[in-house]
């Protein structure tokens, strides 16, 4: 409200089924706004968005949101049982048998790299009950990933999915990224550009505009914003250029 300039302008691209796209850009470039438009959480002032040829403006909100499983940076932390935390990703599956529900939840925990929590499915989380279990930030984030994996969606959207993970868990997640996204399309937002090699294509936003579109290698050769951002980060991983503090 009150903003004079649009958050996004001249952004146009096509995403093929099963593809993995990285959205990169500085803070305020429009990445999260773009995701919220795709999911129907915001309505565009102009322009159109299509899924499988259907204008999303013509789809019922429930039908549109079935296409997506999203993990935003401010993901939910629910003081329910661990199993219920996962099942909130697709409440319709809660109508199944006890065995089927548990099987689906364990599979989602495995995909979300949260296998170590599979032994406490019935345990309440948080501080609302004396028996509540407190989780670390990294555990909550892996639970959010598992909740997204539990949902049978065509597209998974991950907004800074490793922000709360330690380096070992982060490396493990990206090592298993292909398996996690099996059978899905993926849109990945991350300021850590080293993860771009796990995607098929990179879209670079700046000032609300799409300014570059290509693979990691093609954008490095092209130069420009992506190459400068990547080289600025890679400097910190070059042991020969370590900075003394």
pTM for this structure?
A: 0.85
Average pLDDT of 100-127? Answer: 91
pLDDT exceeds 60 at position 237:
no
The alpha helices in the chain, defined as continuous H runs, are 31-38, 61-65, 82-87, 98-111, 137-150, 167-175, 177-180, 216-222, 225-234
pLDDT exceeds 80 at position 117:
yes
Compute CA distances 106 → 100, 116, 118, 169, 199, whole Å.
Answer: 10, 10, 6, 18, 26
pLDDT at res. 244: 43
Q: Find the helix or strand (DSSP H, E) in which 213 lies.
A: strand 209-214
Q: How confident is the model at residue 238 (pLDDT cuts 50, 70, 90)?
A: low
Instruction: Round to whole Å and give the CA distance between 196 and 228.
Output: 14
pLDDT tens-digit readout, 139-197: 998 899 999 999 989 999 988 877 767 777 777 777 777 777 778 899 999 887 877 77
Other CB atoms within a 10 A radius of the CB of residue 12 amount to 8
Please answer whether residues 160 and 73 qualify as being in contact, where contact means their C-beta atoms are separated by less than 8 angstroms: yes
Instruction: Round to whole Å and give the CA distance between 33 and 11.
Output: 12
Q: How confident is the model at residue 245 (pLDDT cuts 50, 70, 90)?
A: very low
pLDDT tens-digit readout, 77-102: 999 999 999 999 999 888 889 999 99
Average pLDDT of 112-129? Answer: 90
Q: Which residue has the higher pLDDT, 129 or 14?
A: 14
Q: Which residues contact 228 (CB under 8 A, 6 or more apart)?
A: none
pLDDT tens-digit readout, 18-65: 999 999 998 889 998 999 999 999 988 899 999 999 999 999 988 898
pLDDT at res. 242: 44
Sign of the alpha-carbon dihedral angle for 18, 138, 162, 157: positive
3-state secondary structure (DSSP) of residue 49:
coil
- Copy the structure tokens of residue 90: 């697709």
């Amino acid at each position: 409200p009150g903003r004079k300039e649009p958050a996004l302008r001249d952004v146009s691209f096509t995403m093929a089924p099963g593809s993995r796209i990285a959205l990169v850009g500085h803070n305020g470039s429009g990445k999260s706004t773009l995701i919220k438009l795709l999911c129907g959480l915001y309505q565009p002032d102009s322009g159109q968005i299509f899924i499988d040829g259907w204008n999303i403006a013509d789809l019922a909100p429930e039908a549109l949101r079935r296409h997506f499983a999203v993990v935003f940076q401010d993901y939910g932390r629910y003081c329910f049982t661990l199993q219920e935390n996962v099942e909130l990703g697709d409440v319709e599956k809660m109508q199944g048998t006890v065995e089927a529900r548990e099987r689906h939840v364990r599979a989602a925990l495995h995909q979300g790299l949260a296998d170590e929590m599979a032994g406490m499915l019935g345990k309440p989380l948080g501080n609302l009950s004396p028996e509540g279990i407190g989780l670390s930030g990294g555990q909550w984030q892996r639970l959010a990933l598992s909740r997204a994996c539990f949902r049978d969606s065509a597209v998974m959207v991950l907004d800074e999915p490793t922000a709360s993970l330690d380096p070992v868990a982060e490396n493990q997640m990206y090592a298993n990224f292909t398996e996690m996204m099996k059978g899905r399309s993926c849109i990945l937002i991350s300021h850590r550009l080293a993860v771009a090699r796990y995607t098929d294509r990179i879209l670079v936003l700046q000032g609300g505009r799409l300014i570059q579109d290509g693979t990691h290698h093609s954008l490095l050769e092209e130069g420009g914003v992506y190459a400068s951002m990547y080289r600025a980060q890679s400097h910190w991983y070059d042991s020969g250029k370590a900075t003394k503090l």
